[in-house]
Amino acid sequence: MSNLFLYFFFLDPTKLPGYQQCPGNQSGEAMPGRLSAVVTWDDPIAYDDKGDQINVYCFPHSGYDFRVGTSKVMCGGMGNEGADIVFCSFSIKVTGKCSTQRHYHVSVRLRGIL
């Protein structure tokens, strides 16, 4: 018979790695005649378990030119020499009146045969 050891860890939730602020869903509106809009947001803020701030990077980044429709942004970073990994995601919705119709003006000049 083997011995069974149970370990209980009491974690202080204020010391856990994570986000203090992750952007919520964002929106933008394409200008008339354009199929995209530049959308910006404040960079996420995250901390490791020691309370040190973690550099967080988002893809696509703030200021990206998003096409009309809904896109997902993923953000992540590592702290504490790779021991703490944080991530978050949010949606970008760009609306606009875009026309897929193209209008061409064609001028044809007919000449008589001489």
| Count of structural domains within the chain | 1
Q: What pLDDT is recorded for position 1?
A: 43
Beta-bridge partners for 47: 18, 53
| Range in 19-23, 25-29, 63-67, 99-103 with the lowest mean pLDDT | 99-103
Asked whether the beta carbons of 40 and 62 are under 8 A apart, the reply is: yes
Q: Residues 28-41: pLDDT tens digits?
A: 999 998 999 999 99
- Is pLDDT at 12 greater than 70 in this prediction? no
Q: Residues 69-90: pLDDT tens digits?
A: 999 999 988 877 767 788 889 9
Distance between CA atoms of 61 and 41, rounded to whole angstroms? Answer: 9
**Domain span at 82:** 16-95
Please report, for the domain that includes residue 75, its CATH number. Answer: 2.60.40.10
Distance between CA atoms of 81 and 52, rounded to whole angstroms? Answer: 11
Residue 107 maps to a domain: no
- Is pLDDT at 110 greater than 90 in this prediction? no
Residue 86, number of CB atoms within 10 A of its CB: 20
